[in-house]
Amino acid sequence: MDSVLSVSLGEIALKGLNRKYFEDKLIKHIRNAIKDIGFEKIYKEQGKIYIEAEEHNFPQMTNRLRKVFGLVYISPCIRVGKDVADIEKAALDIMKHKMEKEKISTFKIETNRADKNFPIKSPDFSRQMGGFILKNFDKLSVDVHKPDTFLFIDIKQNVYVYTDKIKGHGGMPIGTNGKGLLLLSGGIDSPVAGFLMAKRGVEISAVHYHSYPFTSERAEEKVKDLAAILSRYTGKIKMYSVNLLDIQKELNAKCPEKEMTILSRRFMMRIAERIALENELNALITGESLGQVASQTIEGITMTNESVNLPVFRPLIGLDKVDIIEIAKDIETFDTSVLPFEDCCTVFLPKHPVTKPKIEDIEASEEALDINFLVDQAIEGMKITIIE
């Protein structure tokens, strides 16, 4: 009788012939997440992944694994053979342990007989094991509708007995859906956007714009802190820091003040696209939410889209701010995002920004600018930091 951790897969289970590719990616991320804690073996068995390790490390491992995308549940299990007496002993042990931690009055057995050679069908075995538990715990009763706890029995090559399903974030393993460049600011939204796209399997790099010395070094450190929190979920992040000040000065001198935000945004997108193409990244990711600020109207977003050719992922586009804040708190970026340090968007901020820009007006304003030179100049001064 051994203790193991089981990992339940989400969408990966639906991947058909490509399933092995996704499972192998996921196992790689699991290994990376727990390698410093230590484990003996990771193996697959009929739809789940199992980890052999010291039982006293299970809580720390579970906390790490909850942040690995692609997992929906993690369960500490007792693993036994198919001898019914061994299964009964495992069920007794795990129920005793559960009742020591929690007040339990009712239970329900759920058996999953993946090995059809096991002679007792799932409903019959659940009834048999239910009777065994009732016989050994006189204060327990069965409730098939709303039990205090479930006792799960998975019958495969081995038999796994467990009560707890600790929820993970689900999604897809990082790196199974391409690579994206996140426009990362010091605000609440963009770290959440990066988290959500990473959850869909996108490997994340980041670009951050600053206006030093108009913005402080501490403001940039805040963004690095946010990237470090995000990297708990995404793995290491390559972050490009670009000074936008010379471009902002040029815009301030030669273009209408009301277009400052949209024009700055178009430069950010152009620089991001150049970085993405030079580093084989497949898409740009922004934290825009429709109607949240002046540049995030349909017309404003159309203007920024017109400046690039790469796909632009906007996972927050239909979310309310309260929804975004809720996710930010859950992934622990919120407290850092609300620290009071300025970002480049506050430099040369127009009093009355245009909210319904027209492409002919924007392109006419940009005719006064040497766009390629300004983009080249910004990228030449760029700094790169690896965050993990």
pLDDT for residue 358 is more than 70:
yes
pLDDT for residue 224 is more than 70:
yes
List all residues 6 or more positions away from 74 whose beta carbon is below 8 Å from its beta carbon. 5, 6, 7, 8, 62, 65, 66, 165, 166, 168
Residue bearing tokens 């969408």: 11
Region 152-178: mean pLDDT is 95
Q: How far apart are CA 196 and CA 193, in angstroms?
A: 5
Q: What is the pTM of this model?
A: 0.86
Q: What is the pLDDT of residue 388?
A: 84
Region 262-289: mean pLDDT is 96
pLDDT for residue 355 is more than 70:
yes
Region 327-353: mean pLDDT is 82
Our CA angle for 280, 281, 285, nearest 5°, is 165
Q: What is the pLDDT of residue 345?
A: 66
Length of the chain: 388
Region 73-91: mean pLDDT is 96
Summary mean pLDDT of the chain: 92
Q: What is the pLDDT of residue 344?
A: 64
pLDDT band at 47 (very low <50, low <70, confident <90, very high): confident
Region 338-364: mean pLDDT is 80
Query: Residue 200 in contact with residue 177, Cβ under 8 Å?
Result: yes
